[in-house]
Structure 1
Amino acid sequence: MTSLDPARDRRAADDGDAARWRELYDDAPCGYLTATDDGTLTRVNATFCTWTGHRREALLGTRLQRLLPVGDRILWTTACLPRLRTTGAVAETMVEVVSADGARRAALLSATRRPPGDGEPAELRVVVFAAHERRRHERELVDALRRAREAESQRVQAEQEMRRRALRDDLTGLPNRAALVERLEEDLTGRPREGVGVLLVDLDHFKAVNDSLGHAAGDELLVLVAERLTAAVRGSGLVARLSGDEFVVVDELADDARAAAVAERLIEVLTAPVVLQDLEIVVSASVGVARSVAGEGAERLLHRADVAVHRAKARGRNCVEVHDPDHVDPAAGRLRLLGELRQGIERGELVVHYQPRMDLRGDRLAGVEALVRWQHPERGLLPPAAFIGVAEESGLVRRLGARVLDEALAQTAAWARAGGAPVEIAVNLSARQLADADLVPLVERTLERHGVAPALLTLEVTETALMDDPDAALLTLTALKRLGVTLAVDDFGTGYASFTYLQRFPLDELKIDRSFVAGMEGSRGDAAIVATCVQLARSLGLRSVAEGVETAAQREALVSLDCDMAQGYHYARPLPADELARWAGRR
């Protein structure tokens, strides 16, 4: 019989579709959860409730992280949620879920984020597989993730092509590089005389903002910088975003004095405090200035400004450098430095200094870290920052690292022969060394040559080096661990290592980056990061070490957090071996 009410028929059909959707959602072979941007659960399917024993009514309105033990809760809040907000997806994260009876159940968690739009808030969509279901669904997950990565790659490529073609920066609305070069070429062609100037403004430590507060905060800072620079120029010049955290101001610069004055004004307007995520930070910038010369093109002018800004950063940042057209290109300087460094290694000019590592519980010497210095015949004693970058780029760091390891272990053996207690010694490994197939045999040979017990040697690898190639790093670290040495992740907090990866690596020690320790007294964010790192180390069974401790207040704060060890100028700067022995004797 034909219905006389089509509208009612449509509503009935819609209700039927909704009922079938709910049935499919509830009877799915895995847990499906949806949540708000902060993790508050808004929908939970029956499979998840059956598996965990939780009632649906009890779960709705609570946060997902409350269902996780403390270690996985830290992973979710400090790694997964920020990554979801920046990349839109978190895949293949192994966690434990606390069931209603308090038992912990292993699970594989993956999540995506639907960004806000059309009046709808952002939504997190979380899929939870029981561990025993993982094998059955692993191939499907891998295929889905591969397709998602391919789709994301295609999307990024399309966006990059659109940005390249456009003349405006998407984030700040400023002219982009293409528009900047076009404008400069017009100015230089129309006014071949000297006077067209560019000021390249490069924000200092911008990466620390992204790493500690997230990319959203970094973008907010870039927009604010663009607004301040535009206001400072007041229509007399052009402001463009060159790339990343680099901006360019084009202005009339009659002489170097005028150029320096404009640059100082730009630095001044940028240093007013900025509030990001309830934290007050101070922005600083390095400025490189270049004034045009007759017959010069836009790219050459920008290159000279870039050379100047690198010199400003080398001077200590937050300053101005004006480029001299007759100045030697820094690339030539790097080649010269590389040749001198190679000769310096052969002539034995590289020396090792030792910085104490203190046990915070007993305030006693627990070991030392070996740090390389270059006794340059003309420039004096150079710190690692002056030459390690060149050594890393050229591959010379392998020879340099082998020399440091040999000298450090020789000194350890010498201290033992002098009748002292065995001294634990830490040596840094670079990313290139970690990738070297000869690293493990080299460490084994050097330990045997000097008769040093492997347990006395700690090898430190930066978080960034670990994440360059996690699978290869895992194989190398596992082989080193079989030798009996101690393994530490250095500069923790500055890279992107997840809780899952830290669990995979056979680590013994987590070293908290000095930038967070330095900010503990003035920044709640840095203090919270240090506390989280100490707690994370404890949950993983690792020893926590704070780097760059410079004040008694920092030491007391670390003691209150139950941090295990510390090193820094509060105790002693890196010292030659004989001075370290005298320092230890006075304690």
Structure 2
Amino acid sequence: MHSLKVLILEDHPFQLMALHQMLNANGVFDVLTAESVDVACQVLSRRGPVDIAICDLHMEGPDGLAFIRHLAESGLAASVIILSGAETCVIDSVGKLARHMGVNVLGCVQKPASSIVLHQLLRRYLEQDCCAPAVVRLPQYPELLDLTAAQLAEGQNQWVVHYQPKVAHDGKLVGAEALVRWQHPCLGLLYPGQFLRLIERAGLLDTMSLHVLDQALAYSARFQSQTGNALPVAVNITPHMLARPDLHDQVKAALERHAVPASALTLEMIETVGCTPDEHQLEGLLHLRILGCQLSIDDFGMDGSNVQRLLELPFSELKLPSEFVRGMATDGRKAAVVAGALIMARRMNLKVVVEGVETAEDLQAIKALGQPVMQGYFIARPMPGAELLEWVGKRDETSIAHLATA
């Protein structure tokens, strides 16, 4: 993570020093510091944008929320970590407001932060799998900025797909989410947070999404040839793609080309703030559902995703984001939100996928509320297709029983 550039806004000297040391321990050495909002704004103006801003809330003068507003308006930080001694409900509310402002919030953490938590948040920045990150810089790879749209399109063979397993409450594999990576010949494996904005600006986001779709279906067919069952796969799409008049035909042709049943494909719709599908997009959704594909509302409860959207559109599944799940074992409010979503989904005949399961405690808390499908680092990280087959092969009854009782 040595290439990351991080700003710490913290007015407590000891906390500032501890954060600086933890970043260094995690391989981050390009660290800027500020003890007030005014100083932080001056530092960014003088030293340029950062990948991550770690922001305290309580301080003399303008508070951390004022700085977050500045970041939302200036775009001088690709992501933010909110770290404060305030009450959990206050920190979470600030995080929600920041997201509505268009800020990419990696996490909302109560003080004191641990090196492990900080490491997880730094990894999350690099491994973000959203379709359209709000702000993403590429200072560590300036050579990418010189590539034209045509050159980027020619490198499609470098776009590879990793798969994150989804498991039932008993540990049984029930599917996988297809996540794009860029296997660059010189820079190595790049994560979405390092290149998606570039792809989007080049007008190639649809091209990349269709490429991932084709690769995922090809892998599902290959999985079937080796195991006897097609692997259910989930692929992210944007609302903009739904307006494509050829989307239905593209999806249908890909399913037929790889001989994968439509029921094995879930399209996860990524929404953005204020994004309401129009008549053409609704028609696109219905065509896909009639074809037999499953449709998931991703990051339910975040940004534009809400109950009204579930009532308006033909979804078959909702995904609860990691923000609701992480720390649920010790946060009764989050547990209440997850429990309510599970009850609502059951009554609406919707499947539920809980993502962001990162600890045994969170997994146990989820299982105590119901039996949704789960995915997250505690279960498995995204991996190449060949590794997923090995992962499945190693999952004997003992390992499944262990997960079921974790």
TM-score (norm 2): 0.65
**Contact 1:354–1:369 (CA<8 Å) still a contact in 2?**
yes
- For 2:69, the equivalent position in structure 1 comes to 244
Structure 1 residues 376 and 417: alpha-carbon distance in aligned structure 2, compared to 1, 3 A threshold: same
Amino acid at match of 1:273: G
How far apart, CA to CA, are the structure 1 residues paired with 2:252 and 2:167? 27
Match of 2:345 in 1: 537
Partner of 2:201: 393
Which of 340, 347, 359 is the matching residue for 2:168?
Answer: 359
Mapping of residues 8-87 of structure 1, within 5 Å: none
CA contact (8 A) 1:369 1:427 kept: yes
Query: Aligned partner of 1:230: which letter?
Result: G
The structure showing larger relative contact order (alpha-carbon pairs under 8 Å, at least 6 residues apart) is 2
Q: CA RMSD in A?
A: 4.1
Q: Is the 8 A contact 2:168 2:174 kept in 1?
A: yes
Aligned to 1:275: 87
Q: 1:521 aligns with which of 329, 345, 353?
A: 329
After superposition, the Cα gap between the structure-2 partners of 1:271 and 1:568, relative to the gap in structure 1 and judged at 3 Å, is closer
Write out per-residue CA displacement over residues 243-292 of structure 1, whole angstroms, 9 at most, x where no aligned residue.
Answer: 825499xxxxxxxxxxxxxxxxxx9xx95511365778999xxxxxxxxx
CA deviations on 1:200-249 (whole Å, 9 max, x unpaired) are 9999699xxxxxxxxxxxxxx9xx65xx24289xxxxxx9958825499x
Compute the displacement of 1:334 (Å). 8.7
Q: CA deviation at 1:416?
A: 1.9
Structure-2 separation of matches of 1:385 and 1:197: 24
Equivalent position amino acid for 2:242 in 1: L
- TM-superposed CA distance for 1:424, in Å, is 1.0
- Which structure: larger Rg? 1
1:480 pairs with 2:292: no
Letter in 2 for 1:453: P
State the identity as a percent: 34
Q: Confirm or deny: 8 A CA contact 1:463 1:492 kept in the other structure.
A: no
Partner of 2:263: 455
| 1:550–1:569 Cα contact (<8 Å) kept | yes
Q: CA deviation at 1:400?
A: 0.8
SS of equivalent residue, structure 2 residue 272: helix
Contact in 2 for aligned 1:447/1:453 (Cα 8 Å): yes
Give distance in 1, aligned partners of 2:72 and 2:309. Answer: 36
The answer (yes or no) to whether the contact 2:235–2:267 under 8 Å persists in 1 is yes
Q: How far off is 1:509 after superposition?
A: 0.7
Give 3-state SS (helix, strand or coil) of 2:163's partner: strand
Cα deviation for residue 542 of structure 1 reads 0.6
Give the 5 Å matches for 1:565-580. Answer: 565-580=373-388
Asked if 1:230 is matched to 2:42, the reply is no
Cα distance in 2 for residues equivalent to 1:274 and 1:459: 38
Q: What stretches of structure 1 of length at least 5 have no aligned partner? A: 1-173, 185-195, 207-220, 233-238, 249-266, 284-312, 318-327
Q: In the alignment, is the contact (CA less than 8 A) between 2:176 and 2:232 conserved in 1?
A: yes
Verify: 1:504 aligned to 2:338, yes or no.
no
- 1:336 corresponds to 2:145: yes
Secondary structure of 1:515's aligned partner? helix
Deviation at 1:499, TM superposition (A): 2.1
Q: How does 1:255-334 map to 2 (within 5 A)?
A: 271-275=83-87, 277=89, 333=142
Mapped partners of 2:46, 2:223: distance in 1: 59
Partner of 1:582: 390
| Residues 203 and 246, structure 1, Cα contact 8 Å, conserved in 2 | no
Change in 2 beyond 3 A, CA 1:338/1:458: farther
Q: How far, CA to CA, are the matches of 1:435 and 1:205 in structure 2? A: 38
Q: Contact 1:342–1:396 at 8 Å: present in 2 too?
A: no
What is the number of residues matched between the two proteins?
A: 312
CA distance in 2, matches of 1:450, 1:467: 33
- Residue deviations 1:97-121 (CA, integer Å, cap 9, x gap): xxxxxxxxxxxxxxxxxxxxxxxxx
Secondary structure at the counterpart of residue 348 of structure 1: helix
Q: In structure 2, do the counterparts of structure 1 residues 278 and 563 end up closer, same or farther at CA, with 3 Å as the change threshold? A: farther
Distance 1:314 1:478, change over 3 A: same
SS at match of 2:87: strand
Mapped partners of 1:513, 1:552: distance in 2: 17
Q: Is the 8 A contact 1:549 1:555 kept in 2?
A: yes
Helix, strand or coil: the match of 2:148? helix
In structure 2, the residue matched to 1:370 is: 178
> Aligned runs of 1:144-183 on 2, under 5 Å?
none
Separation of aligned partners in 2, 1:531 and 1:552 = 18
Task: Specify the alignment match of 1:558 in structure 2.
Answer: 366
User: Quick check: 1:420 aligned with 2:232?
Assistant: no
Residues 452, 201 of structure 1: alpha-carbon distance in 2 compared, 3 angstrom cutoff: closer
Whether the aligned pair in 1 keeps the contact of 2:273 and 2:304 (CA below 8 Å) is no
CA deviation after TM superposition for structure 1 residue 532, in Å: 2.4
Paired residue type of 1:354: Y
Q: 2 CA distance for matches of 1:408 and 1:415?
A: 10
- 3-state SS of the aligned residue for 1:487? strand
Structure 2, unmatched stretches of 5+, are: 1-36, 74-79, 96-120, 126-136, 396-406
Query: What letter matches 1:574 in structure 2?
Result: P
Partner of 1:437: 245
Given that 2:138 and 2:194 are in contact with CA atoms closer than 8 Å, whether structure 1 keeps it comes out as: no
Q: CA deviation at 1:352?
A: 0.9
CA displacement 1:43-71 (0-9 Å, x = unmatched):
xxxxxxxxxxxxxxxxxxxxxxxxxxxxx
TM-score (ref. length: structure 1): 0.46
Cross-structure match for 2:101: none
Counterpart contact for 2:145–2:198, Cα < 8 Å = no
2:275 & 2:54 partners in 1: Cα distance?
Answer: 21
Deviation at 1:449, TM superposition (A): 1.2
Could you say which residue in structure 2 is the equivalent of 1:143? none
CA contact (8 A) 2:149 2:203 kept: no
